[in-house]
């Protein structure tokens, strides 16, 4: 399976790249509350910003009880400047209330329950299941979607389609690893606008589907 071999090469390289923020917070804080919050805040936000915001956030908000009780305006100020901070603050307040009132303070472990929660869509739900509950799921964000298409693993238009295809072509034991590896790779090498193909360990295996500009001559790709 060529795609598995390519993935393993990328995984090897990813160990020398910066760890994506959600995984960093998970390892450093070792709490499902902070992992969940960082997964929500990191959406449409640069990792450096999420990291800085998480530092000040966790000084004041340590659990769902604090989240329920903090005034909305204060919460907005705390999470500024993450993307969509006003919406996220409103959703986080509701999330605190719902988790305490409906789930006895525990994060639900089922996908269908998670996506009912405010501010949690398919991507974040899969990330939570994989990283908090060690379930075999694939979180497809913009990096995973873009890179899987560039590498020719999938030919899809939406992250949902990509998730379905990746589930089909990768054995289950790889599913949980895909997000961490491809996010680190997407931030460090296979960047959205101008991928650093010259530094890429799989450049000879990659058809570079849809890549218009690169730091490496695009054709012929298999030199
Ligand atoms: S060769 Fe370029 S487009 Fe292909 S995976 Fe590597 S960095 Fe991305």
Specify the ligand 1 atom closest to the Cα of 195: 7
Nearest CA owner, ligand 1 atom 8: 190
Q: Against a cut of 0.95, is the pTM above it?
A: no
Name 142's Cβ contacts closer than 8 Å, sequence gap at least 6. Answer: 159, 186, 192
Specify the ligand 1 atom closest to the Cα of 201: 6
221 pLDDT higher than 50: no
| pLDDT given at position 156 | 98
**H or E element in which residue 15 lies:** none
Compute, in angstroms, the gap from residue 191 CA to the centroid of ligand 1. 9
Question: Which has the closest alpha carbon to 64: 47, 86, 40?
Answer: 40
Compute, in angstroms, the gap from residue 95 CA to the centroid of ligand 1. 38
Cβ–Cβ under 8 Å, residues 96 and 67:
yes
CA distance 91 to 94: 5
| pLDDT given at position 216 | 59
* Ligand 1 pocket at CB < 6 A: 150-151, 189-190, 195-197, 200, 202-203, 206, 208, 211, 214
The structural domains of the chain, with segments of one domain joined by +, span 2-17+137-199, 31-131
Higher-confidence residue of 124 and 220: namely 124
223 pLDDT higher than 50: no
Confidence of residue 108 (pLDDT cuts 50, 70, 90): very high
Compute, in angstroms, the gap from residue 24 CA to the centroid of ligand 1. 24
Residue 206 Cα to chain centre, angstroms:
23
Assign domain 2-17+137-199 to a CATH class. Answer: mainly alpha
Compute, in angstroms, the gap from residue 192 CA to the centroid of ligand 1. 10
In CATH terms, the fold of domain 31-131 is Endonuclease III; domain 1 (1.10.340)
Give the rounded percent of residues in the chain with a pLDDT score beyond 70: 96
Distances (CA, A) of 149 to 25, 167, 197: 28, 14, 15
Q: What is the pLDDT of residues 41-89, one digit of tens each?
A: 999 999 999 999 999 999 999 999 999 999 999 999 999 999 999 999 9
Q: What is the pLDDT of residues 178-196, one digit of tens each?
A: 999 999 999 999 999 999 9
Compute, in angstroms, the gap from residue 180 CA to the centroid of ligand 1. 17
The answer to whether the 2-17+137-199 and 31-131 domains have the same CATH topology is: no
């Amino acid at each position: 399976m060529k795609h598995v071999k390519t993935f393993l090469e990328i995984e090897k390289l990813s160990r020398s790249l910066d760890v994506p923020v959600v995984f960093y917070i998970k390892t450093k804080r070792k709490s499902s509350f902070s992992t969940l919050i960082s997964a929500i805040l990191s959406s449409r936000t640069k990792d450096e910003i999420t990291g800085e915001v998480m530092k000040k956030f966790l000084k004041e908000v340590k659990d769902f009880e604090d989240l329920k009780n903090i005034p909305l305006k204060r919460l907005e100020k705390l999470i500024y400047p993450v993307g969509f901070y006003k919406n996220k603050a409103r959703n986080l307040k509701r999330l605190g209330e719902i988790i305490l009132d409906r789930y006895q303070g525990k994060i639900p472990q089922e996908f269908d329950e998670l996506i009912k929660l405010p501010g949690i869509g398919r991507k974040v739900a899969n990330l939570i299941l994989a990283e908090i509950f060690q379930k075999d799921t694939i979180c497809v964000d913009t990096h995973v979607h873009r890179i899987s298409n560039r590498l020719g693993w999938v030919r899809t238009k939406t992250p949902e389609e990509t998730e379905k295809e990746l589930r089909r072509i990768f054995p289950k034991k790889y599913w949980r690893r895909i997000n961490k590896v491809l996010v680190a790779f997407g931030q460090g090498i296979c960047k959205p606008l101008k991928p650093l193909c010259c530094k890429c360990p799989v450049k000879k295996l990659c058809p570079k589907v849809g890549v218009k500009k690169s730091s490496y001559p695009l054709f012929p790709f298999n030199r």
